[in-house]
Structure 1
């Protein structure tokens, strides 16, 4: 553990010493679509995850970050109950309908139109859709643990004594 901390500290210091320059983006720098006009494609739920009913899911990719570590998509689903594994960190905003969520630790919540929720990557949740739900999903690949520690250390050293905004 101490060796990992020392390595992470060394990486954080090295990262701080390298001047930060913004690379010009490749490809599209602005993407805007009406969520109602994106082409939806069938994305079946893993049959082993389905608890009840015959939920039919569809997805439309809206945009993807240049580093492939972030993705925005529209997703919808018909009635049914299923477990869902979140491989990426995911923030959702319900656009239409509602869904009953039960997390691994037993927290139950109904998400309705306009509600926003966050699901950490590497976790499971149970979803019960009574009629239909449509959401926008903002996904981000979590950093591997050593990189995440180095990133946090870098931010800790960088932000010492300063008040930073949300985009810092």
Structure 2
């Protein structure tokens, strides 16, 4: 237990030092309009071996990338076609325009339309069939390994306990 507390304390101290160093402090807020992101979109070709049919043309514009490079937000769009997609990161999508028919590796099928939300687990494949066009916002996060995830949860628990004690003073 003492070792866990010492490690959590060291992580918290390292985090404070990073925040204190003005050069590494991330921008506290980044906002972008839909029109701004669409204007900034650049070609993002789908891996040719993943394409099953058609000639899907994809574009992307990154809205934000976390300072630790473990999370990002992007707008992505694609024209008609069918392809397999590998999710290297956890990804939550919100469909803004159009629709896409998804078939997960386990056979689960779902049609996502404007306003719908989907989640894809890192390390999985899914088949995307786009009949006309789709545009989405994607929230991507690199999952932590089990050891890092454990220490992160411990750190968070300690911080919450400390905050609770401060409130009770």
How many residues were matched structurally? 153
TM-score, structure 2 normalization: 0.79
Using the size of structure 1 for normalisation, the TM-score is: 0.79
Shift of 1:64: 1.0
- State yes or no: 1:16 paired with 2:8: yes
Q: CA deviation at 1:153?
A: 5.2
CA contact (8 A) 2:70 2:142 kept: yes
* Structure 2 equivalent of residue 36 of structure 1: 35
Q: Once the 2 structures are TM-superposed, how far is the Cα of residue 159 of structure 1 from its aligned partner?
A: 6.9
SS in 2 for 1:23: helix
Structure 2 Cα separation of the partners of residues 71 and 28 of structure 1:
14
The equivalent of 2:166 in structure 1 is none
Residue pairs, 1:94-105, within 5 angstroms: 94-105=95-106
Structure 1 gaps, min length 5 = 1-8, 161-168
What CA deviation, in whole Å up to 9, does each residue of 1:88-110 have, x standing for no partner? Answer: 11111000001000111111000
User: Using a 3 Å threshold, how does the CA distance of structure 1 residues 113 and 47 change in structure 2: closer, same or farther?
Assistant: same
**2:167 is matched with which residue?**
none
Alignment partners' CA distance in 2, 1:48 and 1:145? 32
Relative to its length, the structure with more helix (as a share) is 2
